[in-house]
Structure 1
């Protein structure tokens, strides 16, 4: 294995119609492996750096119970709750991750650009946590150094077991982990951190890169006109509708109106557009993959 980074995404239920675009965008990022834990069969065609591990929701719950000693209140009706367990994936999936320098979690309602243009070797040397939002950890992309102190950092979230043991979604991966990091970095008043943590001795403050927005926020997506405006994937790079380059395009606020993708992974188009109707190659000569 030559990849440095592993990105994890548990996904239960039918795969979305935009998977061909997701897979194509993963293909052009050597050095990064995607591991999708899913009850779906592995696609017939996929890039060599995307791995599908067959896992049912019950098996996922059993793994969490074994590794974290917590009974996860996960059902098909509250799958968003899976996100609350993301900060603990370094422990949950430790057998899968032991050869990687970094692990991370990501969404699949994204199209990746040239990740190495944004996440450089010097950043990997300099930081323990790297994310795509400004001063806030992102559920759609956050990297953690694969080390014991960083993998166990989630344990310092006040009330972690209570939060993940409740059936409600508490946004632990973004909100509570961000609060923890900010508390640990409050060097001017360590008592604040100690009070927040409820601990006598806090863990070392991790080195965090969250200095720049690397993707399309919800607000950005809402600005995109419903007609005649698109974001673009072009030969392994992605661009917003103003033409600016991003590390990846997140379309979570647009997907409810998107209907189809008009190409397959094997068609391997060199470019495609993403808009409110779907994901389309500019040449309409491909079979359409509709939404379920």
Structure 2
């Protein structure tokens, strides 16, 4: 079986949705999850396949700057999003021994990952996005080899992106979401920088890398979604690999962590609740 490790960098107070993220990780026991953080608060519900790595942001900046040969800039934690495609280059000691590594966010509730990413499927691809139109920052999967771990260097703007304090949305499409969602090609748009979507869509076009772009996550929706013992089910009919809380977390923000996450719960456009 292909070995997979998924990496998240998080700095500061843990968000309200962390228990839901970790709970869903526990239903994927043959995948390893790592949270790199400076938050040493105890997490009482940590399964064996989720590891917390205590690493100061200054350490990441110093180590990565030395490896890249110039001073990188991460003035605030959200800037780390620009670096997601470089995690394989930045953290070789973490991904060592794995066939695939990925970057992900904590505002994710996973379904059954292996039901989508079977060995037969993974053997045919080197990079996987969970949307069809651009490289997804909330989740991206890379074959663990020198080509993929260093592919971000192909952007003519990588030094600008990594040395400038400004956030460029390099991991996705330099903020061109609406145009791409409407059907435009990244190559027909004027963007400030050459983003990772440019690189991977060009690699797909040139047949340099076996890429997979498909809309298999849930984001915007009208309700009728549930978590059911490790599966994300929509309308009692469709299964998704994950649910991205991007919109829900804007309107739903409980003040306390739940004492226990049930094996089944519902997700509406405004809240998470159990029957």
| TM bin (shorter chain) | 0.7 to 0.9
Structural mapping, 1:1-292, within 5 Å: 4-41=3-40, 42-76=42-76, 79-175=77-173, 176-187=195-206, 205-210=208-213, 212-217=214-219, 220-221=220-221, 224=222, 229=223, 231-240=225-234, 244-260=238-254, 263-264=258-259, 267-282=260-275
CA contact (8 A) 2:135 2:200 kept: no
Give the TM-score, by structure 1 length.
0.80
How many angstroms does 1:182 deviate by?
2.4
How many angstroms does 1:17 deviate by?
1.2
| 1:223-243 CA-partner distances (Å, limit 9, x unpaired) | x3xxxx453111100123675
In 1: Cα distance, 2:145 partner to 2:110 partner:
26
CA contact (8 A) 1:18 1:279 kept: no
How many angstroms does 1:8 deviate by?
0.6
In 2: Cα distance, 1:241 partner to 1:259 partner:
24
In 2: Cα distance, 1:113 partner to 1:47 partner:
16
**Structure 2 vs 1, CA of residues 123 and 164 (structure 1 numbering), >3 Å: closer, same or farther?**
same
Task: Give the aligned CA root-mean-square deviation in angstroms.
Answer: 2.1
In 2: Cα distance, 1:4 partner to 1:85 partner:
23
In 2: Cα distance, 1:109 partner to 1:268 partner:
15
Name stretches of at least 5 consecutive residues in structure 2 with no aligned partner. Answer: 174-194
Greater shift in the superposed pair: 229-238 or 23-32: 229-238
How many angstroms does 1:49 deviate by?
0.6
CA contact (8 A) 2:33 2:49 kept: yes
**Structure 2 vs 1, CA of residues 64 and 274 (structure 1 numbering), >3 Å: closer, same or farther?**
farther
CA contact (8 A) 2:2 2:100 kept: no
| 1:251-289 CA-partner distances (Å, limit 9, x unpaired) | 11220211226733xx3521122234433333xxxxxxx
CA contact (8 A) 1:38 1:54 kept: yes
CA contact (8 A) 1:255 1:276 kept: no
In 2: Cα distance, 1:276 partner to 1:185 partner:
35
Give the TM-score, by structure 2 length.
0.84
**Structure 2 vs 1, CA of residues 241 and 14 (structure 1 numbering), >3 Å: closer, same or farther?**
farther
How many angstroms does 1:63 deviate by?
2.7
